[in-house]
Structures are given as C-alpha cells and as structure tokens.
Structure 1
Amino acid sequence: MATSRANDILRQIAVISAFCFMIIGDMVGIGAFGGTPIQDAVGGAFDPDASYLTPATEAFSIWSAIYLGLLGYTIWQALPAQRERLRQRALGWWIALTMVLNGLWLVTVQFAGIWATVVVLVALLVALCITYVKVIRTREPGAGFWDGLLIDATTGLHLGWATLATVANLGAALTVTVPASWESAADVLGVIVVAAVAVIGVALAAWSHWRIAPGLAIGWGLSWLAVARLTGDLQSTPIAVAAIIATVIVVSVPVIARVLDRVRGDDAPQSA
C-alpha cells in the first residue's frame, strides 16, 4: 500500500514537472529568452509562405486551448481524490510524456536542424496515439464531466492538432531539402496529402466511437491552411479547395454519426 501511494504521488509530481517543462520550452520556442520566433527559425521554414502545407499563423492559436486543457488536467490530477484512480494511473505518465515531447519540439526548433523537429514531432504523435488508445479503452465507474473535458477532449485536441502539425512540419522539411523543381508538382502532392489527412481524421473518429475533438483540431488547421493558400504569397487554389472540403468532412462526419447514434439509441461512449 505504501509503495502504491508513493508511486501515485511520484506520478502526480511528474505530471506537474512535465507541464512546467512544456511551458519553459514554449517560452524558449517563441524566442522569449532571446531566441528566434518559430516562424523565423531554421531559415523561416515554418513561415506560412514557405511551404504549401503550412497553415496561416492564426491556426496556431489552438495551442491556447490545448495548453489550458493541460493546465486544468495538471491541477486536477494533483488533487488527493485523483491520486489512486485507475484512469490516472493508466494515463498520467503518458500525458506527462506528451507534454515533455511537446516542450522538447519547441526547444529543438531553436537548437537543432529541421529534420530533428520532424523526429520529435513524430515521437509526440506516436505518444499521443498510444495515450488516446488508453483514453478510449480505460473506462472507470464514476468518470464524469472533468474526465471528459480534461482527459478525453484535451488529449483529442492535442492528437488532432499534432496530426496536422506533423504533416506541416514534414512539408516544411521537404521544402528546404528537395530540389526547387519539385514545386511544379506541389498542387498535386498537396491535394493528395490533404485527402490523406481527411481519411485519417474520419478513421480516427470512427475508431474512437465518433469523438469530435480530434476532428475539430484537424479541421481547424485545414481551414487555416485553405486561408494561407488563398491569401498568402504561396497561393494554390487546388490545395485550398481540397482543404475546405476536407475540413467539412472531418468536422461534420463525427457530428452526424453521433447524432445518428443517439437517434438509434446507441450505447457507445459519448465523450468528446
């Protein structure tokens, strides 16, 4: 019993420490300590006008919602009532890992090459996928509103955004790596990638019993990708149109499916 209690307290401390690291990494990443702002780092590779797959700068405001959710989770999981809960034991360490990798990516932007940022972001995406599987599969009697908001919805938003961010990061890395002649195929490749993101978004929603949060995050990023390709210096009508269609699909499909499930009286979990 004493060992279990000690492990639970250690997990709670680890989550708090991971959140603090993430915030420090964020401050480093945005240049708060004298570094280079993200859009100007690694030669401006992350600027919306540098890659056909990078959304407009406004898209990144979604981090405010994700960080707020992670802050809420960090405080909530530290409460004594949460210490020995099954879901906290199953998910706490994994959520902490996602926050560490989140902060590490922001540090990597400042101090490593662009392909290093791809590696870290892929690791974050894998960790979020594993975490979300555990979120879906680890159910517990008495789980209610705060579980749905601070675990299910926050992890879903984080996963959805990381999915799109990985595509954008890879696109930026390829843009500064491949020959300039490849730009002639940008429209076709961009449409294919956006279509693949839409398929992934719908598949993720279907697997998770039509949870909405991942699709909202993906749709948010796709909508701003469309804005960037219609109004920025690097314009592409085909990619913009594909992004608009994909946005409608990834957002509307889970919503419609959940409504239909409710009409049919489906007993599947209905968390966010």
Structure 2
Amino acid sequence: MQQSTRGNYRDFWRQLVTLAAIFGAFVINVLSNVFPLNGLSIGEISNTFFKNVLIIPANYAFAIWGLIYLGLFAFGIYQALPNQRDEPDLRKTGYLLVIACVAQSIWVYLFLSRLFALSVIAMLLILLPLIGVYVQLEIGKSRVPRLKKWCLHFPISIYLGWISVATIVNVACALYFHGWNGWGISAITWTLIMVLIATAVAAVIVIQRRDIAYAGVILWALVAIALKHSDNSILRNTVFVLAIVLVLTATINSLRPQQENI
C-alpha cells in the first residue's frame, strides 16, 4: 500500500510538472514576441540575419505554432486527468516532454541573444526527448482510442515534425552566421540535400507508421520553402516534386492493408 501511494505521488507530480512545463513554454514564446530580447523577435532575426538562408520557409509557415500549442495543451490536460495518472504509456514517457519544453524556452533565450551555435544544442535537447516520447508512445504502431490519438499521438507527431524541420533550419542558420563555406558546395545544393533528407525521413515514417500528421507537417514546410523561393526555379521545382512524391507515398501507403499490430 505504501509503495502504491508513493507511485501515485510520483505520477501526480509528473502530471503537474508536465502541464506546468507546457504552459511555461507557451508563456515564454508569447513574451518573446511581445517583448523581444534585444529588440528583435525570432521572425525579425530570421528575416534580417538569415534572409539568404534558402532552407527557411515563408513566414506564414510559422503559424503552425498555434496548432502545436493547441495540441500540447490538449496533451497536458489529458495527461493531467486523474484517470490517466497511472497510464502505462505516459509513465514510460516520464519527464521527456518536460525536458523538451524547458529546452525550447532556453532555445528562445539563446536565439534572441544571437548565440546561434548554442541554440543548436538547445534545439537538439528539444528534438531528442520528443523522439523518445514518440517511440515510447508507439505512435502508428498500435491501435489506441480516438481520444488518446487526438490528445497524445497527433500533438507529438505535429510537434516532432516541426522540430525536425526547425533543427535543419537552425543548423543552417548557425553555420551561415559563423561563415561556413559549405566545403565549396553551393548553398542551393546543400538546401536540396536537406529537403531531400527531410522528405525521405517523412516517407519512411509514413510507410512504417502511417503517421499522416508528421508527414503533413513536412509537406507544409516544403510548400512554404518552395513558395518563398518561387523565383529560384531549380529550388522551387525540386521541392514541389518532393512534395508531390510525399503526397503520393502517403496516398499509396494508405491504400495498403494494415498490419495486424496496428
């Protein structure tokens, strides 16, 4: 009985800390736009310091943060419900989402402080825990109730999808800021390599896990990159082709019979 009480106490604190971390990350994000450190918001820094970085999507693409936070709040509230206190999947994820949310707040400070190399480390501390949550929840690998899918699986898929893109962009910005010459390879070639990798990862996830939410985020980013650089025919056309390939992959895969364990 005593051990069970201690377990419930730990679960309660995990629920509380997770909800607080999500709310804290949201508040930091809002404040960073309303009262930007050093006078420039994240978007303004992106549009001034990194206007020549080709991998950055069009400004409208960042509106996805509204959807991300909506999903995170759904996650936070769902996992905080009393009947979810001893939910096995949530217990397995532990404090991984907390780490991601705290790292996100740190990233905001580092990026606004123009410590771009350090911001890459913070970005990885967002990405890696999210991958851990994604794996522990077995997203796309097992059937779950609809409410759990909407409140747990979709929010993490969308968040991870965007952070996957953001990590590539963050690394590109840091390298650009510190004058990396790309080993003599042109910027457009590097950009095409990066979008190809992002598309390939999304395609693999769609095939293995049928995760349309993750693929949809990557598709959103690809279209935004193509539209921002519509004057660059090579980049625009290649990215649009990759977007079409991703859509076809997802469509064809959705027509295949599901495996027994899904």
Summarize the Cα distance change of 1:182–1:227 in structure 2 as closer, same or farther, 3 Å threshold. farther
Q: How much has 1:17 moved relative to structure 2?
A: 1.3
Give yes or no for contact 1:210–1:255 (8 Å, CA) kept in 2. no
Show CA shifts across 1:202-245 (max 9, x none): 122233x2211111111101110001111xxxx42222222212
TM-score normalised by L of structure 2: 0.88
Give yes or no for contact 1:19–1:74 (8 Å, CA) kept in 2. yes
Judge which range, 175-184 or 78-87, deviates more: 175-184
> Is the counterpart of residue 211 in structure 1 residue 211 in structure 2?
yes
Show CA shifts across 1:95-135 (max 9, x none): 22222222222222223511111111122111111111111
Summarize the Cα distance change of 1:5–1:155 in structure 2 as closer, same or farther, 3 Å threshold. same
Give yes or no for contact 1:226–1:243 (8 Å, CA) kept in 2. yes
Q: How much has 1:182 moved relative to structure 2?
A: 7.9
Number of the residue aligned with 2:14:
11
Q: How much has 1:44 moved relative to structure 2?
A: 2.8
Show CA shifts across 1:26-69 (max 9, x none): 023324366421122389335xx331110000011111111001
Give yes or no for contact 1:55–1:228 (8 Å, CA) kept in 2. yes
Q: Distance in 1 between matches of 2:140 and 2:11?
A: 17
Number of the residue aligned with 2:163:
162
Number of the residue aligned with 1:244:
240
Give yes or no for contact 1:101–1:121 (8 Å, CA) kept in 2. yes
Q: Distance in 1 between matches of 2:193 and 2:239?
A: 10
RMSD: 2.5
Number of the residue aligned with 1:192:
193
* Paired residue type of 2:16: I
Structure 1 residues not aligned, in runs of 5+: none
Summarize the Cα distance change of 1:180–1:214 in structure 2 as closer, same or farther, 3 Å threshold. same
Summarize the Cα distance change of 1:112–1:185 in structure 2 as closer, same or farther, 3 Å threshold. closer
Q: How much has 1:82 moved relative to structure 2?
A: 1.0
Q: Distance in 1 between matches of 2:142 and 2:60?
A: 37
Q: Distance in 2 between matches of 1:134 and 1:181?
A: 36
**How many residues align structurally?**
258
Q: Distance in 2 between matches of 1:150 and 1:168?
A: 28
Give yes or no for contact 1:45–1:173 (8 Å, CA) kept in 2. no
* Paired residue type of 2:214: P
Q: Distance in 1 between matches of 2:95 and 2:122?
A: 18
Structure 2 residues not aligned, in runs of 5+: none
Q: Distance in 2 between matches of 1:165 and 1:74?
A: 22
Number of the residue aligned with 1:39:
43
